[in-house]
Amino acid sequence: MPESSSTLAHAPGDLPAAAPRGQRLNLAALTAEELQRLLGESAAQRRMPEMSQARLEGRAVPGDLVPREQEYQLQPEKSWGATPELARQLIMLRSELTQAGACDLGVYYQPLLSEGRHLRAFLLSPDTALALRWSETPESRSSAPSLLAATLMRDRASGTAAVLSSTSVLPFVPTQSEEIDARLYQGASTQALLDAHRTQVLRHGRGVRLGQVAGHEQADWLKVFTAVRQLNLAAWTRRGLLVQDTP
């Protein structure tokens, strides 16, 4: 958590459309660009007067609910893909990732996201967690698969705590934490995404090593994406993007 309608289902750091009562996204605190990416150009234009008035009054405009943690439900292995074309793409991308040396950790379902709820998790030595994301709902805007790569940095002296790279055609909304070097490589091939991600990691130093203890691969993968989400929640709180939900 790329979007533009009112969904935020493009990355593990993205926001869901439904979740237990908690915090909500404050639409009035988003920049004009973020609002446009989230709602779409025409919808954002229609709501600009409302947002301007709310800002003048110091009033929040509640949006989607934001859970503090995402839920990942491990799925039994099967032939994935709601359409023959999607199934072909998923098989191809899975093959490309395993040929690149990534360890396949299985498929997970994220019920708190509004779309793009399925992902196949991978670890790529020495320090990268990967998520191959897609939607099993053909009409979903994020039904086409996309690849997300995430690495936590061992030394944050540069001010960067994590590097995030994605092939998604949907932008990150809200903007990722200032401590995350987040980049979109829309439409990039698997190898091009992995190469670009590695280049960015090396710019900042060395990543936290993953997959060093057998049997802890899933925990390592989850640690990376949980850390990215917490960085984003902290940044969004500092910006005033999150407000308490009310009954």
Amino acid letter, residue 102: A
- Tell me what the pLDDT averaged over the chain comes to: 88
Q: Which of 109-118, 151-160, 165-174 has the lowest mean pLDDT?
A: 109-118
Q: Taking 80 as the threshold, does the pLDDT of residue 216 lie above it?
A: yes
**Structural domain contains residue 129:** yes
Q: Does residue 219 lie within any of the structural domains? A: yes
- Give the total number of structural domains in the chain: 1
Domain containing 124 equals 73-232
In a domain, 120, yes or no: yes
Buried b (16+ CB within 10 A) or exposed e, 189-222: ebeebbebbbebbeebeebbebbeeeeebeebbb
Length of the chain in terms of residues written: 247
Residue 194 placed within a domain: yes
The answer, yes or no, to whether residue 247 has pLDDT greater than 70, is: no
CA distances (Å), origin 143, targets 66, 74, 117, 133: 22, 19, 9, 9
Decide if 53 is inside a domain: no
d(CA 231, CA 32): 23
Q: Is residue 105 part of a domain?
A: yes
Asked if the structure places residue 122 within a domain, the reply is yes
pTM flag (> 0.75): yes
